[in-house]
Amino acid sequence: MPGDPTAPDMTTQPRPVYVIGAGPGGLAAAAALRARGVRAVVVEKSDGVGASWRRHYDRLRLHTTRRLSALPGLPMPRRFGRWVSRDDVVRYLEKYAEFHELELVTGVEVTRIEPAGPEGEGEGEGGWILHASGGRELAAAAVVVATGFNHTPALPDWPGRDAYEGRLLHAREYRNPQPYAGQDVLVVGVGNTGAEIAVDLVEGGAARVRLAVRTAPHIMRRSTAGWPAQRSGILVRRLPARLVDRLGALVAKASVPDLSAYGLPRPTTGLYSRVKQGSIPVQDVGLIDAVRGGKVEPVAAVEAFDGAEVVLADGSRIAPDTVIAATGYRRALEELVGHLGVLDERGRPCTQGARSPAQAPGLYFTGFSNPISGMFREMAMDAEKIAKAISRRSGAGAS
């Protein structure tokens, strides 16, 4: 508890655990470490917690329930409702850092992590050195990297992109539909972000909204008869993919109409097989009705730009006023830890949670997956496991 006079004095620990990133994953890890008597210092390059959440579009809400999205040691207030808004997520993260009295250093960017072990000792066994902005070098007993799943916008290098005569922006720059009222808008990408932005544009008065689709998505109801899709994701997560694929197909046929006639066919790959490949189902927040009502028009994938026109994969050409690319993000970990051999071919950590890479003991990652059971829930679980692993390794706190 904050202000507990019996709490250990962690400021005397010579080398703290450094947590990089003050988003939900980093704050949760720091709080869990503090609860075990391990000093954790959160380093954040922006000027406050939850920086990426502050930049999301206005209407965004968690697609996971409030109860299943709380971080360790502090429930989300009931007044936030079942589906928590972006602004309330930010409020919660601010309160979380205050409630747990977390050590937070803002305005400092960690650019590279190096092992600090003496010659002949395994990498990381002697701790780590963090190279940070302003020429800082920070000595760490262990490091938790929590820089976020949605870190750096990924904008495809479409031919002719730089000479496009219309407006092109990444979804990260989108806030609300007001600037696009009366416009012809093409949204590229039919993940959760693209689907929700398309609906937002329709409701906000865009004259025409088209949705460029390369691979047909799985679409799920966010909640059916009061049962949230997240709970189903939790129940089936450990089951074989082929079984979940069959179950998912049955549920989809019963609850989601066939949109093939509107240009959005049912996927040919199973739901959980797609999740394993990194593609999360789209939670319906109005897309189905918008497509059936002709308000959102699915079109072929974008292949290139040509002057004021966008060339689609089926050979057709359109000339929207604005193109919003909901084309995802990169983790951007290469400069930070790429030299340590801890990333896979897609630039994602080879390990996550309580497991350190064999070649980098004492280095942990959290928040770099997007599971159907809910990202906040998984980060909360990771935080407890990471704190337990680090406290055992250091001999601090409870086992």
pLDDT grade, residue 141 (50/70/90)?
A: very high
Read off φ and ψ for residue 174, nearest 5 degrees: -80, 135
What average pLDDT does the structure give for the chain? 92
| Per-residue tokens: 5 | 């006079």
- Mean pLDDT for 338-361 is 94
What pLDDT does 122 receive?
45
pLDDT grade, residue 124 (50/70/90)?
A: low
pLDDT grade, residue 13 (50/70/90)?
A: low
- Mean pLDDT for 236-252 is 90
Q: Is the pLDDT of residue 241 over 60?
A: yes
Tell whether pTM > 0.85. Answer: yes
Q: Is the pLDDT of residue 1 over 70?
A: no
What pLDDT does 97 receive?
98
What pLDDT does 123 receive?
55
- Percent of the chain past pLDDT 90, that is, above it, reads 80
Following DSSP, what letter does each residue of 163-225 receive, concatenated?
G-SSEEEEGGG---SGGGTT-EEEEE--SHHHHHHHHHHHHTT-SEEEEEESSPPPEEESEET
What pLDDT does 276 receive?
81
What pLDDT does 224 receive?
82
388 touches 355 (CB < 8 A) = no
| Per-residue tokens: 71 | 């971080």
Q: Is the pLDDT of residue 396 over 70?
A: no
Q: Is the pLDDT of residue 399 over 90?
A: no
What pLDDT does 393 receive?
81
* DSSP letter (8 states) at residue 47: S
What pLDDT does 119 receive?
44
Q: Is the pLDDT of residue 120 over 80?
A: no
Q: Is the pLDDT of residue 7 over 90?
A: no
Following DSSP, what letter does each residue of 243-268 receive, concatenated?
HHHHHHHHHHHHHS--BGGGTBPPPS
What pLDDT does 12 receive?
52
Edge-first strand order for the sheet with 184-188 is 167-170, 322-325, 184-188, 208-213, 296-300
- CA 192, distance to chain mean position in Å, is 12
pLDDT grade, residue 380 (50/70/90)?
A: very high
18 touches 138 (CB < 8 A) = yes
Mind listing the pLDDT tens digit for each residue in 178-207?
A: 999 999 999 999 999 999 999 999 999 999
Q: Is the pLDDT of residue 121 over 60?
A: no
Q: Which residue has the higher pLDDT, 323 or 272?
A: 323
What pLDDT does 6 receive?
43
